[in-house]
Chains A and B, each alone.
Chain A
Amino acid sequence: MVSKLIKVMRLTALVACFIIALAMPAWAEMQALDDESLSGVSGQSGITLDVEFNTEVAEVAYFEDGQGIALQGVRLSSALDPEEYIEMRLALDILDDGTLAIAYKSGNQGRFSIEDIRFVDTPGVTPLTSDVSLGGLFLDFELDGLTEINGNATEYVIDTVFTLSNGRFGYRTNGNELFLDDFTLDYSAPGATLDFNLATGQIEYTSANQETELSVEAIRLSTNPANRGRSTDIDSGSTLSSYGSFWSKMASDLSIQLSAGGQEGVEGLTVDVQSTIERLDLAYGDDTDWASSGYWLGALGGAGSVSIDGLTIDILADPDSAGDPSKDNGVGLALGLDQAQVNLRFQDVVLGETKANIDAYLINSALPVSSIGSVEANLLLADGLYNGVARTNQVYLQAGGNADAGPQGLRLDTQLSLVSTNNESNFVYVDDGNALMLSRLEAYADGDITIDITAAGVQGSTEFFDGLRLGFEDLDFGYQVEGYRLGQDTGDSDALKTKQLQAATAIPGVSGGLFGLAGFPSLEGRLNGQITLGPGGNVGDEGIAINADISLTDGVMAKYLDADGNGVWLSGLNYDRHLRDMFLDLTNDGLLIYETESWGRMDVTDLRIGNKVSGASFGRVVLETYEQGSETLIVAGGAGEVCIGGRGVDATACQADGGRWDDRGGQGVSFISTRFFKQSVEAENKRNRFTWETGRIGEGTASVQNGTGLSLVFDNFTTNDGDGLNDTFGIQTERNLDVANAYVVKKAAGADSNGVVGNKGDVKVMNGDGSYRYVDPAALTSQDLNSLPLGIAVRTRTQFKEFDIDSVQLGHSSGQSDTLIYGLKFQNFDVTSDITTTVLD
């Protein structure tokens, strides 16, 4: 009986293995099997099947604990014509050692499609088209591969190698499709094992040497409902717009354990995953021929590990159904998590390189590339506390998406908790061997994210744009770091955790990225709005077009954050930002971001010092901006060689002029921007204005009333070319960001806050063990100069021909205002600053 049970389980495991192998996440390099293996697949003693399918299934459903997820309108057919057959040759053979060998080769391009994915409580009920669904999926493919299955006393041993070519994979909602077009996937996993572990009750799959390579020619969008998996529009015949190309290659090992039972009820699934990534390269290309034409953004030389513990999969009712019925979005696929840890480091992040150069670099890493340096992310997702509130990780995949977008779409009722009790979560950036750690990163999110593929137009009360739409509905979120740690890179980020903690500051060029939400020492608030990513850039045919309307309310942002939690806080922050046709393109110089039109408003109820809730306030500040045609270029490489405090083209000339020569290396990152501030359009709430208000009713309390105090208003600031007519120059700013040596001079004789003694004017020099000493500047050796403490060096050059402020007004609590200044003009500015920030001892 037990033997029979084991056989059944092994058969089940075998089927599961097959599914896993076929559905394995992808990217692979085709790995040839040896002659000995291939010799067994001779066709002499096996069976060769030429098969043709055109199969349509109304519904395939999986039920657990009374709730089901149904794949509806499932079809396997020819990709070219769904009424035609998919053709496949299967060659099955039993090798001399008992191995079952299955060779498979497509005779044409096949298509596997799912019209709708819905949650149901009764199988086989014909759905209404208005019933909400997750949307549809399709996969086009031609397969050519071989799978060999052998068994020993304890497990199946499976060798798999295949190429999926002529591929197309898409997601479709409400007649709009986003799909990977013309992709090739090479995958090999020799020696994978599959077993049912009787002791643990788990199905175990391991693949010790799997390699994947994925090449996606284009990522396309269709907004014509008549198109289904086509590269060209069925009506116009024109090629569908593309976001660009994608390529990745990975070598890894993988272990998966599947257990019965989820987080609730008696049924469900629990998954544990462990993976070591030995090598990972990722790249996104824009207008590329995959050789010397077109440019790429690449994350190269990646390595790390991923582990997932206790990922539960259930079909459950919306948890809001009991407590908050207005947010009940029905039954969903519930993904819970005990813990997930990701540690991943990329040796080089390159900008504006050709694929040919990237390929050459991957063969020989000594070849130069336009690299900003190395990046490393260490993340631990687990239950924890954020600001004393318990947070967890749980995502419900629900049907419907945005309510106005149509019945198809995806809604993620999301709870995320990123913890860092012992600095497990952090971010590291390495510039020429100098490392900067954003230490002890903690974050959470709680709210709804919707995903739809949309077409431009107004539906209901919502304006949609062409592309992949990410919607945010009452998404509460927060993130914070404890500060920065800097030190020489050893390749082991744990070594940085012992470095001296430096207060975190907003970093020019970095802070405010990602729609004004990322890169600050701390930010919390409630997010609503949308970001739509469409195809097509401002340069060439490919690129990414972004239209966004973001609203952050009840927020608090730190511009500066001490290790003890004191900082400069924007409390009571209400922020909105709107982008129209912002284009991202990769060029020879780097990543070019062009904003056709953008406007926003940042309303800070209290600019606080110290504690973010109770700190003393400078009052309310409001910054409104309106720009057209602004652009930013992000370039690999920082300031390079600079002369601080003097003038000179080389070290000798610089020092002769009393300056200090500083070589900041070839890596780093630069942000080159041009901003055009335009005349106000009051009817559309688009304006440039800065307001400072104090003396409000309830000042200093939680119930302060904005608009009741005395305000100073700098109204309608604009740029022009110095003639008041044209505006082609704008405000041009180049920021060069490096992690570099900082020249720290002791300001007073005696012991500093760490008890290290020095004389006034002595220079801080780091010792090998992380401690430091003070050295008389006259006694500094070249080794000392190479051992200066590290800091964040920002060199900024700002130029503008004319910056005007129409008026400066004093507003009274009565509502009246007086004009203090009738015009304020700044002309002919070219300002360069070079500031290095480091820890204060």
Chain B
Amino acid sequence: MMRSLVALVFLAFISFVVRAELASIDDSELADVTGQSGVYLSGEVSINENGGPLANGYFGDCADATKVCGARISVQTEQNGGWFVLDNIRGSIAFEGLTFQIREINSGFGGDGALFNAQVVEIGLPGTLRFDDFEYTLATSSTERPDDPGFQQVEIMGVEMSGDVTLEGNLLIFPTP
């Protein structure tokens, strides 16, 4: 139960202020969508490409194999308990054609669109995401900081991604307070 809550909170934090409902929609439903404004975004995001600003017994330069140069997020779900950790987060993601616009949904969705009858945020997925040495490690830790006394960390799994990922379609975010 607590882990579910943690996952929920994590997702909420990542999306920060938006609450989203993900739904796939087919072309006929898209035909009900009106409005041509919006913005087109292209660019990239890179994390700790050359390491971060911390230099201590745990964090350091990427050229130093004994140190971690990626970023770290740690979460404590129980008072005085251990920490869930995403560690050594680094790499870059490049994209062309992420779009953002406001859409009106007033039909489709099996009749729910007519009931909703309001505007939503549409994020047009960019088609291709290019991952370049993107990696992170999922772990648990005994202390809040990795240079604290008594620090112990158990690494559960590591993820590394390089190459292109195809993402097509739209992400619709429905405001439903």
Contacts and interface: CB of A to CB of B under 8 A. Distances in A.
Interface of A: 483, 502-503, 505, 560, 562-564, 566-568, 606-611, 615-619, 621, 644-647, 658-659, 692, 694-696, 699-700, 709, 712, 714, 722-724, 729, 732, 742-745, 747, 753, 791, 799-802, 808, 819-841
A817 to B, nearest CB: 14
B59 interface: yes
A801 B54 CA distance: 6
Contact of A615 (B19, B43, B99, B119): B119
Contacts of B154: none
16 contacts: A560-B102, A606-B177, A618-B175, A619-B177, A722-B147, A729-B53, A743-B42, A808-B9, A821-B75, A822-B77, A829-B53, A830-B47, A830-B51, A833-B46, A834-B43, A840-B39
A835 B44 CA distance: 7
Contacts of B75: 821, 823-825
B161 interface: no
B100 interface: yes
B24 interface: no
A736 to B, nearest CB: 12
Q: 8 closest pairs, A vs B, by CB?
A: A610-B119, A828-B52, A645-B94, A562-B37, A840-B38, A619-B177, A616-B175, A823-B76
Contact of A745 (B42, B48, B74): B42
Nearest to A793: B43
B17 interface: yes
Contacts of B102: 560, 562, 566-568, 609-610
A566 B41 CA distance: 19
B120 A609 contact: yes
A611 B118 CA distance: 9
A483 B36 CA distance: 14
B176 interface: yes
Given A644-B44, A822-B77, A699 B72 contact: no
A692 B73 CA distance: 22
A744 B42 contact: yes
Contact of A611 (B42, B45, B119): B119
Residue in B44, B59, B130 whose Cβ sees the most chain A Cβ within 10 Å: B44
Contact of B104 (A607, A610, A791): A610
Contacts of A616: 116, 118-120, 174-176
Contact of B76 (A745, A821, A840): A821
A146 B177 CA distance: 75
Contact of B43 (A714, A836, A840): A836
Given A609-B173, A808-B9, 7 more contacts: A618-B177, A621-B17, A658-B130, A744-B42, A823-B74, A825-B72, A832-B49
A836 B42 CA distance: 5
Interface of B: 5-6, 9, 12-13, 17-19, 35-54, 56, 59, 68-81, 83, 94, 96-97, 99-102, 104, 116, 118-121, 124, 126-127, 130, 132, 144-145, 147, 173-177
Contacts of B77: 820-822
Contact of A826 (B72, B76, B94, B100): B72
A536 to B, nearest CB: 33
Contacts of A608: 175
B46 A832 contact: yes
A644 B94 contact: yes
Contact of A801 (B5, B9, B13, B53): B53
B16 to A, nearest CB: 8
A831 B119 contact: no
Contacts of A611: 119
Interface SS of A by simple majority: strand
Given A644-B43, A840-B38, A615 B118 contact: yes
Contact of A829 (B48, B81, B121): B48
Nearest to A617: B177
Residue in B5, B52, B124 whose Cβ sees the most chain A Cβ within 10 Å: B52
B71 to A, nearest CB: 5
Contact of B100 (A560, A618, A791): A560
A799 B53 CA distance: 7
Contacts of A823: 74-76, 83, 144
Nearest to B94: A645
A840 B145 contact: no
Contacts of B121: 568, 609
A641 to B, nearest CB: 15
A618 B72 contact: no
A840 B40 contact: yes
B101 to A, nearest CB: 6
A566 B17 contact: no
A791 B42 CA distance: 10
A706 to B, nearest CB: 12
A745 B40 CA distance: 10
B9 A712 contact: yes
B177 A837 contact: no
Contacts of B81: 822
Contacts of A743: 42, 96
Contacts of A606: 177
B53 A830 contact: yes
Contacts of A801: 52-54
Residue in A483, A791, A831 whose Cβ sees the most chain B Cβ within 10 Å: A831
B175 A617 contact: yes
Given A568-B121, A823-B75, A825-B74, A840 B101 contact: yes
Nearest to B52: A828
Contacts of B118: 609-610, 615-616
Contact of B17 (A502, A618, A820): A618
B43 A830 contact: no
B52 A829 contact: yes
Contacts of B41: 835-837
Residue in B5, B118, B127 whose Cβ sees the most chain A Cβ within 10 Å: B118
A699 B101 CA distance: 25
Contacts of A568: 102, 121
Contacts of B51: 828, 830
A576 to B, nearest CB: 20
A742 B99 CA distance: 13
Given A560-B100, A616-B176, A837-B40, A828 B78 contact: no
Given A609-B121, A610-B119, A658-B130, A799 B52 contact: yes
Contacts of B9: 712, 808, 820-821
Nearest to A764: B40
B145 A724 contact: yes
Contact of A833 (B44, B48, B174): B44
A828 B48 contact: yes
Given A616-B120, A753-B36, A828 B59 contact: yes
Contacts of A644: 42-44, 94
B138 to A, nearest CB: 16
A696 B54 CA distance: 43
B39 to A, nearest CB: 5
B57 to A, nearest CB: 11
Contact of B47 (A724, A745, A829, A838): A829
A744 B38 CA distance: 14
A699 to B, nearest CB: 5
